[in-house]
Structure 1
Amino acid sequence: MASVTLSDLRKEYGDLTAVDGLSLDVDDGELLCLLGPSGCGKSTTLRMLGGLETPTDGDVHIGGEPVTDQPPYERNTSMVFQSWALFPHKSVLENVAFGLKMDGVGSEEREERAREMLDVVEMESFADHDPTDLSGGQKQRVALARSLAIEPDVLLLDEPLSNLDKRLREQMQLELRNIHDAVETTFVHVTHDQNEAFTLADSIAIMNDGEIEQVGAPREVYDDPVSLFIEEFLGDTNLVDATVASVTDDGVVADTAFDADIDVRTGDAAVSEGDALTISFRPEELDVSPASAADGGAAVASEPATALTGDITDVLYRGSSVRFYVDIAGESLFFEQSVGADTGFEVGDTVEVSWNPSDLLAFAGDGERVGRGGE
């Protein structure tokens, strides 16, 4: 195992800046996921860590030692790619032992270590099989065993599960988590799939446009995002335009597109009356109940509003859940319920949507979170 430190990494391709001043620390033995949309620079970052790309600027340290100018074969890292890249003319065991052979390890020792790694990934019984006879998930396990067999200080994974179907991908996520716990090696895993990152990671580094926006435990980055980008990227939410109507002791009162004022608990927010905001209503934070049709589109009970009424306009079946869209004063808002809940809501029903003001998040015009952490 080894820690990883990336300091002010920058990678330019002509006029294109793929990674822009990125700094990141990965603890010894940690499983960190680099998460972000396609083209954000996460794979380029991983390749600079592995020595497959040379930084335009910045430094890479592994285990406290500078490796920025070292070629890949001088770094004790190993990489698992999207493509399994198994040799079709070699057995599964020979594929796993290949890296050890290139390192000059004797035949008896490399066979023993290859079998140990196949046992770790639960593929030991397939040692003598032809790789072309394996399923996608089995091939991925063999590729993983091959990378682990050389006992790298850091294992780099570049979206290794992206070629698998949904069921197998979810199964392999759990297997990969268990394998990390078993081998106690530092993993840096690149993915664009937030569910995969939440399942696997000790910590998540969220990238956007060549930079890291936030690093933290999965629950932390979901519950306490620093920016509107992260709030939108992690899960689904309702985003509503608003304007600061007044600043209070514990937040702001915002005039919203619902034609109602909303109380948002932001702490000592550095905003002024008239500032533009975007308010996030996470669907899981909303409480919904039947309401009188006479109240449609109106604030309920209090001002600023903590509840509004509106009419259900669409119902979308999503397998295990149902999504309901509600029209409130011309603004669409959705909530979700489990199929088993069987609330009986239908298109045309008038409902009351309520929330706790402390569950709402507000973002300024530049996308930064307003009053994050109540500070």
Structure 2
Amino acid sequence: MRTKVAAILTATLLTGSLLASPGTARAQLTAGDDLLAAARAGTSERLVSSRPSPAEVQRALVKIARASDGRVRLGAIGRSNEGRPLRLASVGHGPLRLLFVTQQHGDEPLGTPAAIRALWTLGVPDTPWQRALLKRVTLDVVVQANPDGAVRNQRYNHDPSATGDYAEPGVGYDINRFHNPLTPIADNPVPESRAILRLWHATRPRIVVDYHMQGRYVQPDGRETTASILWPTSPLVTDTTTSRQLAVRNYDAMTKLAGANVTRYPGGDYEGIARNAYGILGSASLLVELSELPEDQAEFQIRTAYVSMLATVQGAADGSLWRIDPARADTIPARGPSLPSATTHTEDAA
């Protein structure tokens, strides 16, 4: 029976039997459609804008939870430094736990609408595909981890008293530098990071994927990078095999199914970065950086992250993720130089 279900799930990814978003006429895509077609069909009605406010996020999550008849569960893992809820959406009841985090940097928003779209696809329809998938996995999503930064369109959280490394005095802390597993959580000065760390310890996810945005970069062949990915690089990570398999899975999905030009991100090895921290703790961990393309390409970037999310969940559920050759990660091309005159994020070493 287990083999049969795995085969069904694998075929689903290849044929794209995924439900479109609300308002789509068909309840389920038919055999022969692929995941890219599913992603395109899923854009017919948007639940949030490409740069959603915390209020937009709340309204969308409530709508999804109601439409899902309880399959999508809502909660909060804490509050931001300014008192806004740090929203958690969960779907599935399987033993394999996954954790996605979006918008740790408030000015890097596109992972958030992608996550909302993925939550609808996974939780609202009640088809054999969804039921089989959600018996195997439980997905937790911290949606818009930095709401204070989001309302200000700034990288940092809001903490005028912030001082020390990875802080902007008078502005706040860089949340994605405060996941250090070597620091007691009670001593962590950043409430958003503390909350995510506590969630990790409560759920022990097998997979953690952190969605960010980067500047604009060009490859030697002249093509522009549209996304970059990286697994943990801290020397404290004893085994990166599963993280590298996760990277390959995402590379294949984003390039083949979303049409993205994906490169290897040149990140650093500091253990406080989420990508490294959760690898140190034992999860398969991945950073996904969407390039900040012109606004008219925001939908393409959202779809890229959406495909990444669905492919990760699918690969974990059917077990295909763990059969990938991790050495293939070394063939992911390095990110090229900045595109001339392009605005860049201060994301190096993320």
Q: TM-score, normalised by structure 2?
A: 0.28
Greater Rg by CA = 1
If asked which structure has higher relative contact order (CA below 8 Å, sep 6+), I would say 2
Q: TM-score, normalised by structure 1?
A: 0.27
